[in-house]
Amino acid sequence: MVIKMRIKKENDNIILEDAECFDIAFSLDCGQAFRWKNIKDNIWTGVVKNKYLKIEQKENKIIFYNTSLEDFNLLWKEYFDLDRDYKKILDSYDDESLLIACKEYYGIRILKQDEWETVCSFIISQNNNIPRIKGIIERLCENFGENIGEGYSFPSAEKIASLKLEDLDVLRAGFRSKYILDAAQKISSKEVDIEKLKEMNFEDAKQELIRIKGVGEKVAQCSLLYGFGRIEGFPQDVWVKRIVSELYPDGLPECIKGTEGIAQQYLFHWRRNLENL
């Protein structure tokens, strides 16, 4: 499969030209990742694993500042899911409402985030609102992550597992702190083994994740979709449940079979923004 885009190196930057179906603002701010900051216009900064990135979109170009070709190929290409043909997938949809959502928010991509970070982040997301989720995660990184010069990395499961429950009070995460600690302990001890999860089928992997306290159906689906690249995941939060009951009471459209997670992300963002009008 060949995806239409051109990759150029210019000074210390990587320039991506004519990438199809890639809107960085939609992708970074549609509720799947919580650490990206919109510093101005269409410029965003964030930290993934131990790398800081400043990224800008203008016209047909996306600029990855201070990025080596090696980092682009080894990290960012996967993170932004650049080997997947989103245009082809969206073109295959034939459901009326879904097409509206896809047209309105064309360019959302499913980010391939770090597995542990995703599990932890979506544990924090439960019964919570997005500004507060971002705040808790920011405090988690500043207090327990590593200073990488510009910003902090997301702390490892091992680091969090070494802490006491009351050490997490600084997060002001409420009842979620004990879940964060349990997730860190089970993952760092490999009682829940991330590497093995990657080899499992979707249902088995989901059941493994649910062994972590504070991880239920929804958090497990989010983890698999955003952290493991399992685009067949279909997390149903309050918004998606509304969509399903309003539009698809008799079942999801056949056309999204296999790419449910991508359809879900467009529908989620669309339905959620309708409410804010």
How many other CB atoms are found less than 10 A from the CB of residue 2?
Answer: 6
3-class SS of residue 10: strand
The rounded distance, in Å, linking the Cα atoms of 155 and 116 is 10
59 binds DNA (CB under 7 A): no
Between residues 67 and 265, which has the closer beta carbon with respect to DNA? 265
Which string of x and - marks every residue 130-169 that binds DNA (by CB under 7 A)? xxxx-x---------------------------------x
Between residues 188 and 264, which has the closer beta carbon with respect to DNA? 264
Q: What is the smallest separation between the CB atom of 269 and DNA, expressed in angstroms?
A: 7
| Terminal-residue alpha carbon distance, the chain | 40
The rounded distance, in Å, linking the Cα atoms of 257 and 93 is 10
Q: How many residues bind DNA (CB under 7 A)?
A: 37
Q: Looking at 37, 54, 213, 218, which residue is catalytic?
A: 218
Q: What is the smallest separation between the CB atom of 193 and DNA, expressed in angstroms?
A: 18
DSSP for 152-221 reads BPPPPHHHHHTS-GGGGGGG--GGGHHHHHHHHHHHHTTSS-HHHHHHS-HHHHHHHHTTSTT--HHHHH
Active site residue 164: no
**Catalytic machinery residues:** 218
Interface ranges with DNA (CB under 7 A): 30-32, 125-133, 135, 169, 172-175, 210, 213-220, 222, 235-240, 264-265, 268
